[in-house]
Amino acid sequence: MLSSGSNSTSEGSSVMGFPDVIAAIAEDHRPSERAFFQRLRSLPASVASDPHMLGELYLIYQAAMHATRAAVYYLPHLDSPAMRKRKLQIFIDDDGLPGGDTHHYQLTRAFKNIGALCPIGDEDFGDADELVDHLDPATAKFVQLAKTLYARSLGPWCIVETMSDDWMRALADSLSVHFPSVPTEPYFADCFSQGVEERHAEEAIAVTQSVLERRPELLAQTIEDAKTMAAALDDVWVVMDQIVQATIAKHESALTR
């Protein structure tokens, strides 16, 4: 039987390995390797510019991003003055951009500038329980999970921040094949030039590890919730791929009439 001192050492070692666990989960669920991004990149120009498809892709993507941005405001275990100060910088990077801008508004402009017919307005992205009425089941599940899991542990925040630079680059690369101006859109250009998502990932892991060092009993739930969030995000890319495939089929059917 291990002594209490050995148990403490074992817990400490597990906490020390937390960044590696998150990195492994991110690698297993790497967004850029999902079929959606390759299929979007390979589309014929006539399909890629379909305004309804672009609008549907916008709705799913914006809903998922909105859910995580909103959920960050409810992160647990970060109520000390020092932690609130660090959390505030994340808020500012998303919702406190110069001139009253936000990542949400930047993303809307980016899609409208390539011709997307956005199905709902910016201010319709509100509470998760209302937003899901506009969504497919998989994206609705992601939105609801973000609301629930972000408030329960820091694991979902860590995994989303860790993977976000990868999927943003994959999306920008895929769209830029058809719309060369996309990489210059502030939603992408500002994040990439300033390393915003990479900085958020480093901060999320550092903050979470600091919490876990004080409360190692949170480790298992933190990791489990990270895995759940990553798997739910996989399903969002599947939905977006299905939208692309349905649009391809629609265009091919029109050509044979």
66: domain CATH number?
Answer: 1.20.910.10
Q: Domains in the chain: how many in total?
A: 1
Evaluate whether residue 57 is within a structural domain.
Answer: yes
pLDDT exceeding 70 applies to what percent of the chain? 94
SS3 101: strand
CA 90/CA 204 separation, integer angstroms: 9
- Residue 56, pLDDT above cutoff 60: yes
Evaluate whether residue 27 is within a structural domain.
Answer: no
Question: Is residue 45 packed enough to be buried (19+ CB in 10 Å), middle (13-18) or exposed (0-12)?
Answer: exposed
How confident is residue 241, by pLDDT bands cut at 50, 70 and 90? very high
Evaluate whether residue 21 is within a structural domain.
Answer: no
Evaluate whether residue 39 is within a structural domain.
Answer: no
Give me the pLDDT at residue 119, please: 96
Please give the residue that has the higher pLDDT: either 139 or 82. 139
pLDDT in tens, 90-140: 878 777 778 888 999 999 999 999 999 999 999 999 999 999 999 999 999
Please give the residue that has the higher pLDDT: either 254 or 78. 78
Least confident of 147-161, 163-177, 189-203: 189-203
Nearest CA among 31, 14, 69 for reference residue 200: 69
CA 225/CA 161 separation, integer angstroms: 14
Give me the pLDDT at residue 170, please: 98
Evaluate whether residue 81 is within a structural domain.
Answer: yes
Length, in residues, of the chain: 257
Nearest CA among 110, 145, 114, 117 for reference residue 131: 145
Tokens, residue 234? 């996989």
Evaluate whether residue 28 is within a structural domain.
Answer: no
Give me the pLDDT at residue 101, please: 82
CA 197/CA 76 separation, integer angstroms: 21
199 lies in which domain range?
A: 49-255
Nearest CA among 257, 247, 242 for reference residue 50: 247
Evaluate whether residue 34 is within a structural domain.
Answer: no
Give me the pLDDT at residue 98, please: 82
Sign of dihedral through CA atoms 43, 63, 115, 95?
negative
- Residue 213, pLDDT above cutoff 50: yes
Tokens, residue 217? 């009993």
SS3 97: strand
**Is 214 in contact with 8 (CB distance < 8 Å)?**
no
Give me the pLDDT at residue 190, please: 87
Tokens, residue 251? 């265009």
Give me the pLDDT at residue 257, please: 65
Cα distances (Å, whole numbers) of residue 79 to 88, 167, 207, 211: 11, 30, 12, 11
pLDDT exceeding 90 applies to what percent of the chain? 78
Cα distances (Å, whole numbers) of residue 175 to 52, 121, 144, 171, 216: 15, 22, 28, 6, 42
Least confident of 18-32, 33-47, 194-208, 214-228: 194-208
* Mean pLDDT score, 172-186: 97
Tokens, residue 52? 């309804």
CA 109 to chain centre: 18
Evaluate whether residue 114 is within a structural domain.
Answer: yes
